[in-house]
A and B are shown apart, each in its own frame.
Chain A
Amino acid sequence: DTGVSQDPRHKITKRGQNVTFRCDPISEHNRLYWYRQTLGQGPEFLTYFQNEAQLEKSRLLSDRFSAERPKGSFSTLEIQRTEQGDSAMYLCASSFPTTVHEQYFGPGTRLTVT
């Protein structure tokens, strides 16, 4: 098992463009979480899935953000009409539902909006 993987690791885009990130969780984990982290701050929760169901979304997840996990395996996070304020590290984590205390994080996707 290679852990949680995220792709791409870095993304530079122009303001107004759409971007999509992918997260592949640990294969046995049916919970998947998305967080966003800006410089000098801790990660901020965005949303989480149990299998393919999106069970909770943060107020931070504006209508320009959408996350999917269509087959309960990998997940995608799309940001439409990117803004400079979207520049951040986007982190994905996974866990079993019975071990929520131990979330395994991926290395993150660093987004820079110019």
Chain B
Amino acid sequence: DAKTTQPNSMESNEEEPVHLPCNHSTISGTDYIHWYRQLPSQGPEYVIHGLTSNVNNRMASLAIAEDRKSSTLILHRATLRDAAVYYCILRDGGTGNQFYFGTGTSLTVIP
């Protein structure tokens, strides 16, 4: 399974944008890029996913590099409720039916 690399931790001020990076240099052509987050004492929750094009939804935006070897999750205005561990995950769109999580990025939002 293709690996992802994320910083262990990041900080952001409340109401400012947050850019969470992810490197996936061994990504294959059929791998989708997913982001999940896990708030304290909860199960992970879906944030966003994409294949090649940038994606937006009500929670966040996903910017995918042209060579697909990296991506960035963008939270447009961080709130205290966004403090969580953010996981960048690759899943083979052809055969992958489960996620292989790494250790993620722990985001701290400073009031």
Q: Is the CB of A101 within 8 A of B44?
A: no
How long is the Cα–Cα vector from A100 to B96 in the complex, in angstroms? 9
The contact string, 1 if C-beta is below 8 Å from chain B, for chain A 53-79, is 001100000000000000000000000
Q: Contact size class for A?
A: 20 to 34
Chain A residues within 8 Å of B103, by CB:
40-42
Chain A residues within 8 Å of B42, by CB:
105, 107
Give the size of the chain B interface in residues (CB under 8 angstroms): 21
Binds B, one of A13-21, A43-51, A80-88: A43-51
Give B23-78 interface residues, CB cut-off 8 Å to A: 32, 34, 41-46, 49
> Count the A-B residue pairs with Cβ separation under 8 angstroms: how many?
54
Q: Is the CB of B104 within 8 A of A108?
A: no
Chain B residues within 8 Å of A35, by CB:
101
CB distance from B66 to the nearest CB of A (A): 22
Q: Report which of A4, A40, A45, A104 forms a contact with B99, defined as CB distance below 8 A.
A: A45
**B contact residues vs A (CB 8 Å cutoff):** 32, 34, 41-46, 49, 85, 87, 91, 96-104
**A contact residues vs B (CB 8 Å cutoff):** 4, 31, 33, 35, 40-45, 48, 55-56, 91, 93, 100-108
